[in-house]
């Protein structure tokens, strides 16, 4: 009895181990193919597939009939072309002993073939697995393209409202206070240049603050100087590189959703300092504030579209660059202002201002 139980448990744990091995192999395959068929991992993926199939040789081929990666003795070019032609023509498995080919169909589109010689197992499920990994790779690329498009949107998203207000404010001062109007116009030009500048993903804190400063000067003129503005920066953090347009949208958010709805004067402060290996930037306003639950839903990307782009986009980009623990921190309550904190490492491999 006891022996039987032990035997069964032994059998079970062998099963479990096998499952774990297979899962690990699948994961490794996915990692190998993360850059697609043309990526660097294709060769190691071919070797892994050969081991999984216990085959003599495995070849990954692309749509042009080129051999992208091979493990084991590769086929003659003529042999390969023949078996590939057959697969690609009908989009179905082909056999030309000793070689057999299985088409790789990624998201409904033929995009390559898996060519194998002397395999023991079934070919079709493995080809499906490879196709799915390739699909993942394509999705991953699409995701980073979307993030870039979001950033472009953000850059282009200077509200017409703000443009109109800024120009109106400058226009109103041209006769009464020409000097101030001139400064404001220069600020406006600087602001536009920074927002539209297309080069690079990162800027220094100093550059980012310069943009904030020009933006706030324009807003202050609009508020008839009823807005008090304080910038406090420890010199240590000025040369730190951070993702482009991180601080500016947060400040804009504070002005538009914190101070504008509030009657009477308002104050906004931007401060930055080093905390050991971290660079901390805080944007604080004494505006209307918001419900913490609402702030959470905005960060999760579920808020109303007007607010969503700024906060959620900044949060997402910070997490994408620095890792999940470096998102935005928002402290707020209705009627008592808002404090948004950015906390990022001062140095990160690959993060570099132009």
Partner 1 sequence: MAGLLAIGLLLAASMVIGVRGVRATRSTTPDFLVASRRIAPGLNAMAIAGEYVSAASVLGLAGLMLKYGIGSLWYAVGFTAGYVAVAALVAGPMRRSGAYTVPDFADYRLGSALIRRLCAVIVLVIMWLYLVPQFKGAGVVLHLVSGAPYWVGVVLAGLVVSVSIAAGGMRSATYVQGFHYLVKLLFIAVPAVFLVVHAGADARASALRMDLTDWGRPLLDVEDSGQPLLATWSLLLATTLGAVGLPHVIMRFHTSATARTARRVAVGVIVLLGLFYLFPAVYGLLGRVFTPWLVEGGDTDTVTVALPGAIVSGTWGSVLTAIVAAGAFAAFLSTSSGLLMALAGGLSHDLFRAGVPRLRMAVAGGALVAVLLSLPAQQVDINVAVGWAFAVAASTFCPLLVLGIWWRGLTAAGAAAGLVVGVCAATGAALASVLTEPEAGWLVVLLAQPAAWTVPLAFLVMICVSLPGRPPQWAESAVLRLHVPG
Rounded least distance, CB 273 to partner 1, Å: 4
Are the C-beta atoms of 227 and 220 separated by less than 8 Å?
yes
Which of the residues 322 through 351 are near partner 1 (CB under 8 A)? 325-326, 343, 345-347, 349, 351
Rounded least distance, CB 234 to partner 1, Å: 5
Q: Which is nearer to partner 1, 142 or 231 (CB)?
A: 231
The C-alpha atoms of residue 236 and residue 258 are separated, in whole angstroms, by 29
**Structure tokens, 199:** 């080069």
Any residues with CB less than 8 A from the CB of 139 and at least 6 apart, and which? Answer: none
Tell whether residue 275 is a contact of partner 1 (CB under 8 A): yes
Judged by CB under 8 A, which stretch of 78-86, 117-125, 229-237, 286-294 contacts partner 1?
Answer: 229-237
Judged by CB under 8 A, which stretch of 149-157, 207-215, 288-296, 308-316 contacts partner 1?
Answer: 207-215
Q: Which is nearer to partner 1, 26 or 274 (CB)?
A: 274
Binder among 241, 250, 330, 340 for partner 1 (CB under 8 A): 241
Site string for partner 1, 28-67 (x = CB under 8 A): ----------------------------------------
Closest CA to 116 of 134, 103, 129: 103
* The length of the chain, given as a count of residues: 354
Binder among 135, 217, 284, 286 for partner 1 (CB under 8 A): 217
Binder among 20, 149, 168, 234 for partner 1 (CB under 8 A): 234
Judged by CB under 8 A, which stretch of 16-24, 133-141, 151-159, 204-212 contacts partner 1?
Answer: 204-212
DSSP, collapsed to helix, strand or coil, labels residue 278 as strand
Angle at 132 between CA 17 and CA 111, to 5 degrees: 140
- Residue by residue, DSSP assigns 258-318 as IITTS-S-EEEEEEEEEETTEEEEEEEE-S----HHHHHHHHTT-S-HHHHHHHHHHHHHH
Site string for partner 1, 131-160 (x = CB under 8 A): ------------------------------
Tell whether residue 320 is a contact of partner 1 (CB under 8 A): no
Per DSSP, what are the bridge partners of residue 99?
96, 117
Rounded least distance, CB 71 to partner 1, Å: 24
Locate tokens 């604080």: which residue? 284
Judged by CB under 8 A, which stretch of 41-49, 113-121, 144-152, 274-282 contacts partner 1?
Answer: 274-282
Rounded least distance, CB 345 to partner 1, Å: 7
DSSP assignment letter at 324: G
Element of type H or E holding 70: strand 67-71
């Amino acid at each position: 009895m006891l022996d039987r139980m032990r035997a069964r448990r032994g059998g079970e744990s062998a099963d479990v181990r096998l499952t774990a091995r297979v899962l690990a192999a699948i994961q490794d395959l996915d990692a190998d193919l993360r850059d697609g068929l043309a990526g660097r991992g294709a060769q190691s993926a071919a070797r892994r597939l050969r081991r999984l199939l216990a085959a003599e040789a495995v070849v990954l081929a692309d749509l042009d009939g080129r051999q992208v990666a091979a493990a084991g003795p590769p086929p003659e070019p003529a042999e390969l072309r023949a078996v590939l032609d057959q697969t690609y023509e009908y989009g179905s498995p082909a056999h030309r002993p000793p070689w057999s080919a299985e088409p790789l169909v990624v998201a409904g589109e033929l995009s390559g073939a898996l060519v194998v010689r002397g395999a023991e197992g079934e070919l079709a499920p493995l080809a499906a697995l490879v196709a799915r990994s390739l699909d993942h790779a394509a999705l991953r690329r699409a995701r980073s393209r979307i993030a870039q498009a979001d950033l472009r949107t953000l850059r282009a998203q200077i509200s017409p409202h703000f443009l109109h207000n800024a120009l109106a404010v400058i226009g109103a001062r041209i006769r009464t206070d020409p000097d101030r109007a001139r400064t404001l116009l220069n600020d406006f030009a600087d602001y536009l240049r920074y927002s539209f500048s297309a080069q690079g993903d990162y800027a220094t804190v100093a550059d980012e603050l310069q943009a904030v400063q020009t933006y706030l000067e324009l807003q202050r003129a609009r508020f008839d100087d009823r807005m008090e503005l304080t910038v406090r920066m420890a010199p240590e953090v000025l040369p730190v590189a951070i993702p482009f347009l991180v601080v500016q949208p947060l400040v804009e958010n504070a002005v538009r959703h914190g101070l504008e709805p509030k009657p009477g004067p308002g104050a906004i402060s931007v401060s930055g300092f080093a905390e050991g290996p971290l660079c901390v930037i805080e944007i604080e306003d004494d505006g209307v504030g918001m419900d913490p639950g609402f702030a959470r839903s905005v960060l999760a990307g579920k808020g109303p579209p007007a607010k969503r782009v700024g906060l959620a986009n900044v949060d997402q980009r910070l997490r994408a660059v620095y890792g999940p623990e470096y998102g935005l921190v928002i402290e707020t309550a209705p009627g008592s202002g808002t404090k948004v904190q950015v906390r990022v490492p001062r140095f990160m491999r690959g993060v570099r201002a132009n």
